[in-house]
Structure 1
Amino acid sequence: MSHTAHIPSHRKPRRSASKIALRAGVAGGVLSTLAVAGASGPAFAAEPVTETIEMPTITADLSTQVAQSADATQQAANSYALQAEQDLAVAKAAKQAKADQALAEKKAEAKKKAEAEAKRKAEEARASRSTERTTLSTASAASKVAAPASGSVASVIAFLKAQLGDAYVMGGTGPNSWDCSGLTQAAFAQAGVSLPRVSQDQSTAGTPVSLDNLQVGDLLYWGAAGSAYHVGVYIGNGQYLDAANPSKGVVIQDLSGYPATGAVRVL
């Protein structure tokens, strides 16, 4: 015991039991409340948040990025469309080029065939002229033929008129196609006169006569004597009969339309 405990004024008063109980009850209540609050803390944490959260504001940079992205997308779409158009144009051009090439090849083939045909005809014409020259060479000894004592002009004219309408064919000697000298040679053969085969030599066969003094049956020629390129026979009244050309054939024509260069008399 304290050395001052026997002094009443220095002794602490004893607390009453009721106050101690009250304080104990308050303290217990507080502790209980804290315990309940602690136990219910997680439940309260699960409650939805009622605070307003402010969203970030779209800045100018973000707007620019969005616009640029849209532009890039549009440019890509335009690029794809342009590429598609270019691919279509290339395909059309290739198709047209193929068609043009086929047409060019077809024309080239046709030209080649035409050239081959022209060459063949030229070779045939050369062969015909060569044959004519050979015949001329073998008949050169008889190229100068005098008029025989006998012979009939009428038979010559009759033969010529019988051939009217026949075709003209270079190198033709009958019976249905003639060239100019082939017809006159065959006609004068009817009167027993053997003329050379070609017009060049026929133009110097017999006696030269003036064109102002022609008689029926005189042999007419065009071109110089000895190098004439055409012959016919005078039939009177300013007309002559000849194997003219491929378009006319054997016909009667007027001297006024195509005057002869000269004439020879073989009958």
Structure 2
Amino acid sequence: MSLTAHIRSHRKPRRSASTIAMRAGVASGVLGTLAVATAAGSANAAEPVTQTLELPVLTGDLAAQVAQSAQATQQAAANYQLQAERDAAAAAAAKEAKKDLAHAKAEAKKKAEAARKAAAERATRAAERTTLTTASSSSSDSTSSSTATGSAAAVIAFVKAQIGDAYVSGGTGPNSWDCSGLMQTAFKQVGVDLPRVSQDQSTFGTQVSLDNLLPGDILYWGSAGSAYHVAVYVGDGMFVGAQNPSTGVAEKPLSYDPPTGAVRVL
């Protein structure tokens, strides 16, 4: 036996044809698989990729800013509403003030007009009294028949101030009169409330003789209780009355139209 018969040879054993063929087939299969995988990867690469975006998580600072913005918006809305309410209140107040001003102006105008009329009447009466006093003091007739004093002087001053006014049936002034309307208004100046018509005025007070007349006595024409005309005796043989449409309020002597009788109320 050879000494080397049990020593393995270091030479590579020869592969049989079948082994080589099998390995070639495996390799071919692997290459085919790689080719298929590569093609699939290329196809997949051509398809669109859908990505999912994740919203950022609110941080503490961002949350505070959002809260501040919301608060600022609410405050602005509240300020707008408050301003609107103030504007509406101001408009209503202005309207009310305008109404009150118009009312105050109307009232002031009425009061001013009333005060003006009252002042004019006082001034007229004062002037008439001065004129009457001067005329009376210069008269040469007896004191009992020509000088009016007190209430009588005021009545005479009033009727003389109306001389020249028109005669109108039913007139009670201030610029037109009938006979009894003038008497009633004249005596009202001194607080005497005469009846409205001449018939009743002819019986109001005390009947006096025409020979004993005093300034301020009421003269009447016709019988007492059915008189058709009245006037006031002003002294010095004169009377003033609303005579007729042609003469109006005039001063006449007793001889112009002698009266029937007289009554004294002062």
**Pairwise TM-score range, normalised by the shorter structure:** 0.3 to 0.5
So what's the TM-score if we normalise by structure 1? 0.46
Q: Could you state the TM-score of these two structures normalised by the residue count of structure 2? A: 0.46
